Amino acid sequence: MTKHIVIGFLGCGNVGSGVWRLLEGFGDAIEHRAGLRFHVKKVLVRDLTKKRDVAFPADVLTDNPDDVLTDPEIQIVAEFLGGEEPAYKYLLRALGAGKTVVTANKVAFALHWHELQKAAKASGAGLYYEAAVCGAIPIIHSLEESLQANFIDKIYGIVNGTTNYILTRMSKNGEDYATVLKDAQKLGLAEPDPAADVEGLDAAYKLSILASLAFHGRVPFEDVYVEGITRVGAEDIRCGQDLGYTLKLLAIAKRKGLDVETRVHPTFIRSDHPLANVSGSFNAVYLHGHACKEMMFLGRGAGDMPTASAIVSDLERAASVRKHLYPTFENAPNPRVTLKNNTDWQCPFYIRMLAKDEPGVLYRIAKCFADQGVSLAAVQQKGEQANGRVTLVIITHTASEKAVQRAVTSLDGEIATLKSIIRVEEE
């Protein structure tokens, strides 16, 4: 017998329209497979006069959130508004009223996970968020359920399609950042205001969620070190390629005992690493667990239908389970047993500088690093001398972040000026 579930949407832009279309076009199959039929009763939007791709029946659209949040018939609220507020406020109200929430909103979720979970548990409602990280890739469900028998110690994610598209084109065609960004905006692959993507914030929200699940403890967004791709130059990408590296904006999370490091920054990885071939707007998550060993998830991290795939799967899960489950770690801002945030991680570094072209300079540069306990694995001169200066590319052995920062700060500007510094992950 078919179970009928009444749902309400908060927002109906790209993602919401995709969900509407998927429920409409695939509704019979869902009923056949799962015995579920979803009925969208109300859809909250900001502008009722806006022209839309979806032909909504009369009286479905509303600009009053109460029509969704206080309707006793609506059992599940699916949220695709985006941003922290008013989404967070609405989600709390929905959960407080005992309505299960399915959300695609990484910002509100990453920032307020513990409050949302508390409200959900208090009312017995469900809280589902697969679409908040990596669109169609079922990474949340995998971490929550299928990989529970693992101590996961490492995650490398390409979790932002916009920046991966930009870096892929810069790497393949030698184009510069500003040109590719403009093109990406024209193609709809970057927002008119691209800051959240190119500054790495979007990836950091997602990493906070992934690391919390993988390491079984809350990793707050504020603990994630973030550096975007805005200062990445074609020259560094080329120099890295000569050394066998590909540049990616990686979301990295590592755990050793209770020590956890989480960081988002441009990273050189070996060009034969599986992540190096993740091109364009694709997303991927590569992880290591003590039992499952290495594993990689690859797929579309955005787009109306790929994201709808995750949302509708969450709707089905939410409507089928006998009892909603919540992550079992102590999800609180100050948990009793806490993971420690390690900001002095260790990795090799790529450093490009312009150095004076005269005897003794190399010795003085090497000494700045040696004084901080940083040893150099390779030094290469690139190109010809210009104005008495040459480009030097240094690769360090594995070294501490803080020691390398001290070493480059101690460089005498008379002999060398730092042009760029990029962390390397050797796998």
Ligand X SMILES: NC(=O)c1ccc[n+]([C@@H]2O[C@H](COP(=O)([O-])OP(=O)(O)OC[C@H]3O[C@@H](n4cnc5c(N)ncnc54)[C@H](OP(=O)(O)O)[C@@H]3O)[C@@H](O)[C@H]2O)c1
Catalytic residues: 206
DSSP state of 63: S
Each residue 200-239 as x (binds ligand X by CB under 6 A) or -, in order, gives ----------------------------------------
Give whichever of 100 and 171 is closer to ligand X, judged by the CB atom: 100
Give whichever of 170 and 311 is closer to ligand X, judged by the CB atom: 311
Total site size for ligand X, rule CB under 6 A: 23
Partner residues linked to 417 by β-bridges: 354
Nearest to 388 by CA among 411, 366, 360, 358: 358
Regarding 307 and contact with ligand X (CB under 6 A), the answer is: yes
Regarding 105 and contact with ligand X (CB under 6 A), the answer is: yes
Placement of tokens 């890739």 in the chain:
137
Nearest to 333 by CA among 221, 177, 408, 179: 221
The radius of gyration of the chain from alpha carbons, rounded to an integer in Å, stands at 24
The H helix count followed by the E strand count for the chain is: 13, 19
- Residue 158, judged by CB atoms within 10 A of its CB (0-12, 13-18, 19+), counts as buried
Contact (CB, 8 A) for 283 and 158:
yes
Could you tell me which stretch among 79-87, 187-195, 225-233, 289-297 binds ligand X (CB under 6 A)?
Answer: 79-87
Give whichever of 45 and 226 is closer to ligand X, judged by the CB atom: 45
Positive or negative torsion for Cα 173, 177, 182, 186: positive
Among residues 5, 14, 284, 411, the one that binds ligand X under rule CB under 6 A: 14
Q: Which amino acid is at 412?
A: D
With left for phi above 0 and alpha for psi between -120 and 50, is residue 421 left, alpha or beta? beta
Q: Compute the least distance from the CB of residue 108 to ligand X, in Å.
A: 8
3-state secondary structure of 322: coil
Placement of tokens 């950091």 in the chain:
204
Regarding 50 and contact with ligand X (CB under 6 A), the answer is: yes
Q: Compute the least distance from the CB of residue 28 to ligand X, in Å.
A: 25
3-state secondary structure of 124: coil
Could you tell me which stretch among 10-18, 34-42, 239-247, 417-425 binds ligand X (CB under 6 A)?
Answer: 10-18
Partner residues linked to 356 by β-bridges: 389
Give whichever of 168 and 171 is closer to ligand X, judged by the CB atom: 168
Regarding 299 and contact with ligand X (CB under 6 A), the answer is: no
With left for phi above 0 and alpha for psi between -120 and 50, is residue 88 left, alpha or beta? alpha
Q: Compute the least distance from the CB of residue 189 to ligand X, in Å.
A: 10
Q: Compute the least distance from the CB of residue 426 to ligand X, in Å.
A: 31
Q: Compute the least distance from the CB of residue 294 to ligand X, in Å.
A: 26
Regarding 46 and contact with ligand X (CB under 6 A), the answer is: yes
- Residue 375, judged by CB atoms within 10 A of its CB (0-12, 13-18, 19+), counts as exposed
Give whichever of 50 and 256 is closer to ligand X, judged by the CB atom: 50
Regarding 119 and contact with ligand X (CB under 6 A), the answer is: no
Q: Compute the least distance from the CB of residue 309 to ligand X, in Å.
A: 11
Nearest to 194 by CA among 176, 208, 211, 177: 177
Give whichever of 50 and 402 is closer to ligand X, judged by the CB atom: 50
Give whichever of 61 and 319 is closer to ligand X, judged by the CB atom: 61
Provide the CB-side half-sphere exposure for 2 (13 A, CA): 14
**Packing angle of the helix pair 177-186, 161-173 (nearest 10 deg):** 130
Regarding 15 and contact with ligand X (CB under 6 A), the answer is: yes
Give whichever of 46 and 256 is closer to ligand X, judged by the CB atom: 46
Which residue's CB comes closest to ligand X? 13
Q: Compute the least distance from the CB of residue 181 to ligand X, in Å.
A: 18
How many residues does the structure list for the chain?
427
| Residue 277 dihedral angles phi and psi, to the nearest 5° | -95, 5
Regarding 284 and contact with ligand X (CB under 6 A), the answer is: no
Among residues 159, 232, 303, 313, the one that binds ligand X under rule CB under 6 A: 303
Q: Under rule CB under 6 A, which residues in 121-180 are in contact with ligand X?
A: 131, 135
Regarding 11 and contact with ligand X (CB under 6 A), the answer is: yes
Q: Under rule CB under 6 A, which residues in 345-404 are in contact with ligand X?
A: none
Could you tell me which stretch among 38-46, 266-274, 373-381, 402-410 binds ligand X (CB under 6 A)?
Answer: 38-46
Contact (CB, 8 A) for 87 and 108:
yes
Residues that bind ligand X (CB under 6 A): 11-16, 44-47, 50, 80-82, 86, 104-106, 131, 135, 302-303, 307
